[in-house]
Amino acid sequence: MRVLSSALENRLALYLDLIRWSRPAGWLLLLWPTLGALWVAAGGFPGWHLLTVFVLGTILMRSAGCCINDVADREFDKHVKRTAGRPVTIGAVSVREALLVGALLALLALALVLTTNTLTVGMSCAALAVTLAYPYAKRYVSMPQAVLGVAFGMGIPMAFAAVRGDLPPLAWVLMLGNLFWVLAYDTEYAMVDRDDDLRLGIKTSAITLGRWDVPVVMLCYLTFIIIWALALMPYAQGTLFYIAIAVALAQVVWHFTMIQARTRAGCFKAFRLNHWLGFAVFSGIAASYFAQ
């Protein structure tokens, strides 16, 4: 029994590593703009049911995406310093296992979405399609981060659909703004692996932009914040919202100090800390509704 228990624990540890359980920054990047949209759509706290659906659904779909990504990139990952030890890459988890884990997680997320409405379910299917397409985009698209931006932004219109049953222009405006944020932080991420990706022939925004990478990242951050701030002025009113926007802008300056030298450590640190920028914007939205 002890041997069996130990084997199960080891297998669970591998699956948790597969879905990046110890690195929550990935799903937090998805969560904050989704919750921001949920609060705006509901005009405040959206209720425990929708909050549970979107929090758990975000974690499950990000985890499923990790499984799909690692299977698609397993031949590339073995040649990249940062990813060479991933479970699928080293053969500790088989391709079939990883796909089964990913499918199970996606089905659990679907079960949550099925408790909402038809429009939200339809949007979730579109989100899954983009998630499946993203790992292959870097083979053909010079800015695959834009594809990731679409995938990571799908929670925004889904939030409006779940609350209102329709998709107002505001949902798409916020999704557009979020796309620029994804371009910013995922370019920072791509800057970490630029040397390896050049050698392997992988396409990324960091390679496409070349020496314009840092200026464009800064421009994308500012575009994200400007779009969200202007779009939400009629909704998230009050001093707290503008304080949060100021905090987010201060973090943009901080990110510049981390990536300006283009070191692996600095760029990776900037990527990992991006969720605090998203948290600042969401906190301003939530606090403004609370104050009202």
CA 189/CA 183 separation, integer angstroms: 10
The token pair at 171 is: 């949902």
Interaxial angle between packed helices 144-153 and 155-164, expressed in degrees from 0 to 180 and rounded to the nearest 10: 20
pLDDT in tens, 136-146: 887 888 888 99
Are the C-beta atoms of residues 131 and 61 closer than 8 Å to each other? yes
Q: Where are the beta strands (DSSP E) in 70-195?
A: none
pLDDT in tens, 204-233: 899 999 999 999 999 999 999 999 999 999
> pLDDT-derived band of residue 166, with 50, 70 and 90 as boundaries?
very high
pLDDT in tens, 241-271: 999 999 999 999 999 999 999 999 999 999 9
The token pair at 19 is: 């879905």
For residues 141-166, average pLDDT: 93
Amino acid identity for residue 105 in this structure: L
Phi-psi region of 237 (alpha: psi -120 to 50; beta: other; left: phi over 0): beta
**Domain 2-291, what fold?**
Tetracycline Repressor; domain 2 (1.10.357)
CA 84/CA 74 separation, integer angstroms: 9
Q: Is the pLDDT of residue 1 over 60?
A: no
> pLDDT-derived band of residue 3, with 50, 70 and 90 as boundaries?
low
CA distances from 275 to 69, 140, 207, 218, 270 (A): 21, 28, 24, 16, 10
CA 166/CA 271 separation, integer angstroms: 33
For the ranges 13-17, 37-41, 44-48, 52-56, the lowest mean pLDDT is seen at 13-17
DSSP secondary structure code for residue 92 in this structure = S
| pTM of structure | 0.93
CA distances from 48 to 45, 52, 247 (A): 8, 6, 28
The token pair at 186 is: 């995922």
pLDDT in tens, 99-115: 999 999 999 999 999 99
CA 87/CA 261 separation, integer angstroms: 32
Structural domain boundaries in the chain: 2-291
For residues 171-199, average pLDDT: 94
Q: What is the pLDDT of residue 2?
A: 62
Q: How many CB atoms lie within 10 A of CB 89?
A: 20
